Amino acid sequence: MPYFSRKQNDMTRNGFSSGGKRDYWRDLSPGETAADLTRCYGERAGEEVLFRALRAERDLDRGAAHFWLGVYTELARERVAVA
């Protein structure tokens, strides 16, 4: 099981829109979030981000879906820069 910092753990538990709960993703930039999720999920960070975008879209939270797609864009940029 990977190590989770408090911020990453909060983001993992509350990353989706949820009735009355605070959306921690609103406090972070897409680049910062991409870096955090890469540390947590490694090569599978992209899968996690796309899942969160899909979940936000299904919850009709377009702002969150847009944010998670921005995070995916940052992940893609990082992978192109490394390659």
Domain boundaries, the chain: 28-82
Q: What is the pLDDT of residues 48-64, one digit of tens each?
A: 999 999 999 999 999 99
Taking the model in full, what pTM does it have?
0.70
Would you say 49 and 37 are in contact if contact means Cβ atoms under 8 Å apart? yes
| Mean pLDDT score, 1-18 | 48
Residue 12 corresponds to which tokens in the numbers above?
A: 């993992």
